[in-house]
Chains A and B, each alone.
Chain A
């Protein structure tokens, strides 16, 4: 039982990342009708926002320590962050320690800007082109962004730790009446799940309860009619693209302490997220979120040793297997509208 609860937690966690990326993808598809293969790259850029802020906060000057030597036997040069000079050692260290949560603030304007530039600079020229063209150009863009990040940050993963207060793990089992140590779960992954729930809730609330959101939803349903009412729907859709980019970016920022950011992390998530969107139903926001969590949990269960002993390799194909079954029985996906991909 404890193993099952642990895999459910794991699934919720994976599902959080899938759902956040899929949510952004669906927002873009639903508003602009664009199949954005560069969306994984936005997730990756988000993670590198966390890396960048961490690097900015740890910018240092060197102080020679005559008592120690470096690898060549010369006096050791010790890096002292400017933060320590500005705020004192304790406060400076605390600011650096909280670089990932601080990167949330840093990443929102950056990601919105990246999203708007991407939409205005390239993607708007492909609105009236076939989906195949959109996929090709956005996939190309993803590769370009990936290579730029690699040129700047290198190919190796870059450790980006969570604040000390959130490292370590929480004894979830004791809370549920199990033995101590039976279900231990990392604090930061719990934070990630809570954060994902918050963002998803905020996006839904924004679309549901604001005038802007209402117009966007109307535009999603019938773009031409909304346009005829004198509303500049294109500008709103551009803003939605920026917001979708911010959602993907935030997912990346908070993911940075879970797995050290690397330049191909976007591609690692992209294909899975597309399967999530298709399973949930193209254009359906609740579908994307539900499918994200569903497939995350299924994937976690499939990687249990007991299951793999019966069905070897199932953990690698479970998501695609579920996608095939759902598409065969319900081609529009779990919550998709009929004929979305047919126009």
Chain B
């Protein structure tokens, strides 16, 4: 049996050593590496792709998912490397991100904010996703961006065009590569004035939610600045399928242009109805009646069929662009899937590369470090020319395309033709522009 003798000095010495031992990890953590949500520990890192796999935008979501899978393949060194070969930043080398193999999980947004938040939450909490990306509705993007801010992960927005995403609802953890409604207006209005004249009377039909409101505001402001008059602006419910009763009043309103602030199925139906009612053959105020679809996508154009011919709109990117980055992406995507990528696929692919590159340059997955690497980052080689990720609102600034429904398409993919590449300078605006005011970026949240 051993005998233990307690002395005052002995207790003090033991206590000091034990105290230092307990404090040590805290000291190291505070000084060298901050804790953050879902810090990857093994040999892999998980990204969360949250896209509409069901619901009216499911085709768009499917194309986004194809692009994400292609991006993961390229990041892990597979395939032909795609835009990694043309990207101006050379931080990525095909060995994953920071040497970790890229893995992914997918979620279904159903194009519903609640479902999108639930699937993003599940990917963050259960699957350990360190970054969430995707979506094809501004309502969804804004909801998921808010969730990612609270959870302490980065949100790389997919397709979202509302000014509010990087306006009043902007968040420090959220980043948008896609263009916005203001940019559509700034790019489109001069082309419309050139084609149709400065003396026009416009009638707007607008989807009644965040994206529709900001698009209507943007297009009205841009066209009115060039001399157009807005005769009326009517909100239409998102669930509307037959727009005939909204189109009929346009006929006798005195308007000579109809602006359809509709997207997806809404746009397909409203444009079809407008064409059926003979608006395109009509003469008003001594001018040919015209229809404008400010936000175009190839997938929507396919739904609207013949009706899109000759109709102007804007788009973020198009597969016919001839810069090296776009060509590399189209080659890579087209070879793998057999058809050209949509603008949704492009923006999602680019966002994944941009995130991976930012982590690589920051040397850390910490969302605050990644955010710092992305904010104010200038790059090229990913389509649309030199691009800036503006620090003040995390919005990308780049050239915007004005497109027109092609008169003589050669295939089901060849539906839009680029009529003008609007230079970046023409679509830029101040961070405190009234259409983007009312919110604050706040501070980055690294989470746990």
Partner of A268, one of B55, B241, B251: B241
Q: List 15 A-B contacts (CB under 8 A).
A: A6-B251, A71-B334, A71-B339, A150-B54, A155-B59, A156-B58, A159-B305, A159-B307, A161-B306, A181-B251, A182-B252, A186-B277, A188-B276, A260-B269, A315-B245
Asked if A185 is an interface residue, CB under 8 A from chain B, the answer is yes
Binds B, one of A230-238, A278-286, A296-304: A296-304
Asked if B56 is an interface residue, CB under 8 A from chain A, the answer is yes
Residues on B with C-beta less than 8 A from A268 are 239, 241
Asked if A158 is an interface residue, CB under 8 A from chain B, the answer is yes
CB pair B303 A260 closer than 8 Å: yes
CB pair A258 B331 closer than 8 Å: no
Asked if A76 is an interface residue, CB under 8 A from chain B, the answer is yes
Asked if A168 is an interface residue, CB under 8 A from chain B, the answer is yes
Chain A nearest CB, measured from B382 CB (Å): 19
Separation of A323 and B95 alpha carbons in the complex (Å): 64
Q: A3-B248, A169-B278, A184-B278 are in contact. Are A156 and B331 (CB under 8 A)?
A: no
Binds A, one of B161-169, B372-380, B409-417, B432-440: B409-417
Residues on B with C-beta less than 8 A from A2 are 252
CB pair A71 B340 closer than 8 Å: yes
Binds B, one of A7-15, A217-225, A242-250: A7-15
CB pair A156 B299 closer than 8 Å: yes
Q: A155-B56, A156-B59, A186-B276 are in contact. Are A10 and B244 (CB under 8 A)?
A: yes
CB pair B330 A71 closer than 8 Å: yes
Asked if A316 is an interface residue, CB under 8 A from chain B, the answer is yes
CB pair A72 B302 closer than 8 Å: no
Chain B nearest CB, measured from A271 CB (Å): 11
CB pair B242 A258 closer than 8 Å: yes
Interface residues of A in 309-329 (CB under 8 A from B): 315-316
Residue of B59, B251, B282 most packed against chain A (CB within 10 A): B251
Interface residues of A in 133-177 (CB under 8 A from B): 150, 154-159, 161, 167-169
Chain B nearest CB, measured from A297 CB (Å): 10
CB pair A159 B272 closer than 8 Å: yes
CB pair B277 A185 closer than 8 Å: yes
Asked if B232 is an interface residue, CB under 8 A from chain A, the answer is yes
Interface residues of B in 276-324 (CB under 8 A from A): 276-278, 281-283, 299, 302-307, 319-320
Partner of B58, one of A7, A155, A159, A161: A155
Q: A262-B56, A305-B232 are in contact. Are A71 and B414 (CB under 8 A)?
A: yes
Interface residues of B in 387-429 (CB under 8 A from A): 410-411, 413-414
CB pair B276 A3 closer than 8 Å: no
Partner of B242, one of A70, A150, A259: A259
Interface residues of A in 4-40 (CB under 8 A from B): 6-7, 10, 13-14
Residues on A with C-beta less than 8 A from B57 are 155
CB pair B278 A7 closer than 8 Å: no
Residue of A14, A155, A158 most packed against chain B (CB within 10 A): A155
Asked if B7 is an interface residue, CB under 8 A from chain A, the answer is no
Residue of B245, B277, B331 most packed against chain A (CB within 10 A): B245
Q: A10-B248, A184-B277 are in contact. Are A262 and B265 (CB under 8 A)?
A: yes
Residues on A with C-beta less than 8 A from B246 are 303
Asked if B19 is an interface residue, CB under 8 A from chain A, the answer is no
Among all A-B residue pairs, the 5 with the closest Cβ atoms: A159-B305, A169-B278, A155-B58, A303-B245, A186-B276
CB pair A70 B265 closer than 8 Å: no
Residues on B with C-beta less than 8 A from A184 are 251, 277-278, 282
Asked if A264 is an interface residue, CB under 8 A from chain B, the answer is yes
Chain B nearest CB, measured from A144 CB (Å): 14
Separation of A124 and B331 alpha carbons in the complex (Å): 55
Q: Which residue of B lies closest to A187 (CB)?
A: B276
Chain B nearest CB, measured from A139 CB (Å): 18
CB pair B242 A260 closer than 8 Å: no
CB pair A316 B265 closer than 8 Å: no
CB pair A260 B411 closer than 8 Å: no
CB pair A300 B410 closer than 8 Å: no
Residues on B with C-beta less than 8 A from A186 are 276-278
CB pair A154 B245 closer than 8 Å: no
Residues on A with C-beta less than 8 A from B55 are 155
Asked if A265 is an interface residue, CB under 8 A from chain B, the answer is yes
Residues on A with C-beta less than 8 A from B303 are 156-159, 260
Q: Which residue of A lies closest to B264 (CB)?
A: A156
Residues on A with C-beta less than 8 A from B335 are 72
CB pair A258 B305 closer than 8 Å: no
Separation of A260 and B234 alpha carbons in the complex (Å): 23
Residues on B with C-beta less than 8 A from A161 are 305-306
Asked if A332 is an interface residue, CB under 8 A from chain B, the answer is no
Asked if A338 is an interface residue, CB under 8 A from chain B, the answer is no
Asked if B237 is an interface residue, CB under 8 A from chain A, the answer is yes
Separation of A72 and B340 alpha carbons in the complex (Å): 8
Residues on A with C-beta less than 8 A from B283 are 181
Residues on B with C-beta less than 8 A from A159 are 268, 272, 303-307
Q: Which residue of A lies closest to B414 (CB)?
A: A71
Interface residues of B in 192-251 (CB under 8 A from A): 232, 234, 237, 239, 241-242, 244-246, 248-249, 251
Residues on B with C-beta less than 8 A from A262 are 56, 265
CB pair B269 A157 closer than 8 Å: yes
CB pair B244 A260 closer than 8 Å: no
Residues on B with C-beta less than 8 A from A76 are 410-411
Interface residues of B in 6-51 (CB under 8 A from A): none
Separation of A220 and B62 alpha carbons in the complex (Å): 49
Residues on B with C-beta less than 8 A from A264 are 56
Q: Which residue of A lies closest to B239 (CB)?
A: A268
Residues on B with C-beta less than 8 A from A10 are 244-245, 248
CB pair A7 B248 closer than 8 Å: yes
